[in-house]
Amino acid sequence: MAGLNLLSDQGFRIDGRKPNELRRIQCKLGVFKQADGSAYIEQGNTKVLATVYGPHEIRGSRAKLLLDRVLVNCQYSMATFSTGERKRRPRGDRKSQEMTMHLKQTFDAAIMTNLYPRSQIDIFVEVLQSDGGNYCASVNAATLALIDAGIPMKDFVCACSASFVNDNPIADINYLEESSGGPELIVATLPKSDQIVFLEQNSRLHEDNLSKVIDLAVKSCKDVYTVLDRTVRDHVSEVSNSHGWDH
Amino acid sequence: MTIFNFRTARPVEYYRKYLEQDVRPDGRDLGEFRRTVLNIGCVTTADGSALVKLGNTTVMCGIKAELCKPKTETPKCGFIVPNVELSPLCSPYFRSGPPGEQAQVMSQFMLEVVNHSKCVDLESLCITQGKLVWVLYCDLLCLDYDGNVTDACVLALLAALKNVCLPTISINEETENPETDLTKRVPLPISSQPVSSTYAIFDDNILFVDPTAEEENLATGIITIVTTDDKLCLVHKPGGSPLRPEQLTNCFDRSFDRSKEISRLIDETIHSIDR
């Protein structure tokens, strides 16, 4: 894109980060009382809220019931005021539907679905402010909400995006970097077992560079994991202290 | 039977026992609101935003401004379009899909509050008479539903409107196209402060303020009073138990007290952000 230097000669990005540096992550578990689990995450200027209900009986059509495992129902929605231009529909447009599908597939792979046959788990994700990396923030928030709800998972699911600029892979891209037309790679991993559960890449990228970008994205997922893990531990010790449990 | 089982099995009886002592199970007396927390300007992509917590009930309001053509019968008036969303995210009782009855009634109620309180002079949203006006889309998202969303919504809307800063628009005389100057932003003038307070009627005669979701379900009637500063603006009583005039007068008195509390809260919040 003309006139926009994504990586300066000194090796800094538009927002002043180094190529492998993540945006600041702030998160909180158990923010709401009505839901069984809830979490709020801020990754830079992207702010996402996730709530989890369940496992509970199947709601709506019983045709969706699965005999051997739990039905994971996701809903991704973006607040109309979350983007620069006002969104007409918070959900139901193709982009949100696609995101809903991706989230469902990601968490189907991570939740121990065989433990709750004939039931349903709802994951609702609301993007309050968007500045790139919506999928990643949504996955991270939903992971925390699932943990808060006490739903057994194989591992944390951590997601991070990456791109490739001037022969340099860059991690956790923001809206400007996302919309500059460069390649975008999104990865969701199970960090402890080093498994990739979701990977999507669009725009042109030379195959020689692909492994570099994936490596950086997977490494960034581990960094995200460190932050999430600390948040969960802090939350658990805070809750157990307030209940006076020994730990 | 333990106290917890008693609450589940005989909720009305449980509440009666408390209300005999003029207190509610959560320790509040009948005229006491839950702790109200206000945060203004929390979403930077919106032109104005606010987050309100009323106990557990949480509502977020984001305002987006757009340009449009005014109606021919009111060429000088802009628009304010409030929209309340009660998604399945905030409570297990809501279903996904198109907005439910309650959400539509709430949206209409918010529109009435805006119109009747005249908190924003619609003519101040005019840019060129008959050609170009502002439309303010006020989206109210309920994030956690624990009763009395009405009061939380009215407060969130008012606080977000006070946070709105509109860019200045000038009309290019040659091309007649509007030109936006994003660097020069002016705050929206707010001429009055609508404040709502909701009361639940229990057993046809006991009134208490700011009901939780549980209390709303047990109530035999609900009444909402909206005041603007020291004047009465709107009373909404959708059926339910009939009330005596002196009970209504008590509600009005409490509402005017609430109005003062809220304007103090808003002033304090705005002051703390300025610093």
DSSP state of B25: T
**How close is the nearest chain A Cα to the Cα of B97, in Å?**
9
| Distance separating alpha carbons of residues B263 and B271, to the nearest angstrom | 12
Q: Does pLDDT of B23 surpass 70? A: yes
**Does residue A234 register a pLDDT over 70?**
yes
pLDDT grade for B1, boundaries at 50, 70 and 90: low
**A84 contacts on B by Cβ (under 8 Å):** 45
pLDDT tens digits for range B208-260: 999 999 999 999 999 999 999 889 999 999 988 999 999 999 999 999 999 99
Extract the tokens encoding A149.
């709800």
Q: Kindly report which listed range (A4-8, A45-49, A75-79, A99-103) carries the lowest average pLDDT score.
A: A4-8
Domains (range + CATH), chain B: 38-274 (3.30.230.70)
Instruction: Give the C-alpha separation, B51 to A32, whole Å.
Output: 14
Q: Could you identify the residue written with the tokens 């930077």? A: B44
CA B235 to chain centre: 14
Contact B88 A35 (CB under 8 A): no
**pLDDT tier at B275, thresholds 50, 70, 90:** low
Is residue B63 pLDDT above 80, yes or no? yes
CA distance B22 to chain A (A): 26
Query: Which pair of tokens denotes residue B41?
Result: 């300007």
Q: How much is the average pLDDT of B1-25?
A: 88
Q: Are B214 and B147 in contact (CB under 8 A)?
A: yes
Arch. (CATH architecture) of A25-243: 2-Layer Sandwich (3.30)
CB B84 within 8 A of CB B157: no
* Cα–Cα distance for residue pair B128/B141, rounded to 1 Å: 32
Instruction: Report the pLDDT value the prediction gives residue A64, as an integer from 0 to 100.
Output: 85
Q: What is the pLDDT of residue A81?
A: 95
* B95–A contact, CB cutoff 8 A: yes
Q: In this predicted structure, what is the pLDDT of residue B174?
A: 83
Helices (H), B187-244: 213-218
**Cα four-point dihedral sign A240, A241, A245, A247:** positive
Alpha-carbon gap, residue A177 to A105, rounded angstroms = 26
B96 touches chain A (CB under 8 A): yes
Please report residues of B whose CB lies closer than 8 A to that of A35. Answer: 89, 144
Cβ count near B121 (within 10 Å): 15
Out of B66, B139, B144, the one facing A79 most closely (by C-beta) is: B139
Task: Say which residues have a Cβ less than 8 Å from residue A186's Cβ, sequence separation at least 6.
Answer: A135, A136, A159, A160, A161, A198, A199, A200, A201, A217
Task: Name the CA dihedral angle for A79, A84, A88, A89, rounded to a multiple of 10 degrees.
Answer: -30
- In the prediction, which pLDDT does A3 show? 55
Q: Which residue has the higher pLDDT, A52 or A65?
A: A52
Neighbours of A88 (CB within 10 A): 9
What is the share, in percent, of chain A residues with pLDDT greater than 90? 83
Residue B45, pLDDT above cutoff 60: yes
**List of chain B residues whose C-beta atoms are within 8 Å of the C-beta of residue A60:** 95
Burial of residue A99 (CB within 10 Å: 0-12, 13-18, 19+) is buried
CB contact under 8 A, B143 and A82: no
pLDDT exceeds cutoff 60 at B111:
yes
Strands B36-40, B48-54: pairing is antiparallel
CA angle in degrees (0–180, nearest 5) for B8-B13-B17 = 115
Chain B's closest residue to A33, CA to CA, is B56
Spatial separation of the C-alpha atoms in residues A186 and A172, rounded to whole Å: 9
Question: Could you tell me which of B233, B75, B208 has the C-alpha nearest to residue B154?
Answer: B233
Please determine, for residue A247, whether its predicted confidence score (pLDDT) is greater than 70: no
Does the pLDDT value for residue B179 go beyond 90?
no
Mutation to test the B interface, candidates A32, A36, A82, most B Cβ within 10 Å: A32
Q: Mean pLDDT in chain A?
A: 93
Q: Which chain B residues are closer than 8 Å to A32 by Cβ?
A: 56, 58, 90, 143-144
pLDDT digits (tens, 9 = 90+) for A188-201: 999 999 999 999 99
Region A206-224: what's the mean pLDDT? Answer: 95
> What residue ranges do the domains of chain A occupy?
25-243
**Pairwise CA distance, residues A6 & A19, whole Å:** 10
The residues, any chain, with a CB within 8 Å of residue B25's CB and separated by 6 or more, are B7, B14, B15, B18
CA distance B132 to B6: 61
Q: Is the pLDDT of residue A92 over 90?
A: no
Q: What pLDDT was estimated at residue A243?
A: 87
Task: Calculate ∠ Cα B95-A110-A58, nearest 5°.
Answer: 30
Say how far apart CA B210 and CA B262 lie, in whole Å. Answer: 14
CA angle B174, B128, B81 (to 5 degrees): 135
Chain A nearest CA to B188, separation (Å): 18
Q: How far is A33 from chain B (nearest CA, A)?
A: 7
pLDDT at A2 over 60: no
